Amino acid sequence: MLNFFFIMMVCYLSLPVPAQASKPFSATLEGCVIKGVFFSVEKKVSTDSSAKISVYRMDVRNPKDLEKKLNLSPYEGKKIRLQGRLHPGDIFEANPKSLKVLGPCDRNSRNAISGSGR
């Protein structure tokens, strides 16, 4: 009987559980629009005080119709902030009303984007 209980417990614990990353989640992203594409730029400072810049090319979609991309070409060369829901595959369902222009895209961000090969 104890063996049966143990086997059932192992089977239960080995059942697949949906990963949190597979579900959309709310996010606020900052980055630059280059050639009509939004690049999320994250600056992280490590424990040794060195800064690391991570760049993610985002597929920004219209929340009313996820098949349509959000037109960001009016913000070419600008640094912007967007709020929305991040889906697997770097698809970002952006709330167009949350879009805020933060100014021109800074040199460090532009260099990181061009150096990322994206």
Segment 100-117, tens digit of pLDDT: 999 999 999 999 998 865
**How much of the chain, in percent, has pLDDT values that exceed 90?**
56
Each residue's pLDDT tens digit, 68-98: 899 999 999 999 999 999 999 889 999 999 9
Does residue 57 have a pLDDT over 70?
yes
Domain-embedded: residue 10: no
pTM of the model: 0.74
Pairing of strands 51-62, 91-94: parallel
Residue 89 in domain: yes
Q: Is residue 18 included in any domain, yes or no?
A: no
Residue 9: inside a domain: no
Residue 58 lies in a domain: yes
Q: How many domains is the chain built from?
A: 1
Q: Rounded to whole angstroms, how far apart are CA atoms 34 and 114?
A: 10
> How confident is the model over 5-43, as pLDDT tens digits?
556 666 566 666 555 557 889 999 999 999 999 999 998
Domain containing 100 equals 25-115
Give the Cα separation of 26 and 15 in Å (integer).
27
Q: Is residue 13 part of a domain?
A: no
Q: What CATH number should be reported for the domain holding residue 76?
A: 2.40.50
Q: Which of 63, 64, 55, 60 is nearest to 72 (CA)?
A: 60
Backbone angles phi, psi at 90, to 5 degrees: 60, 35
Q: Give the whole-angstrom CA distance, residue 72 versus residue 80.
A: 10
Q: Is residue 66 part of a domain?
A: yes
Q: Could you tell me if residue 100 is inside a domain?
A: yes
Give the residue from 68, 65, 70 showing the smallest Cα distance to 33.
70
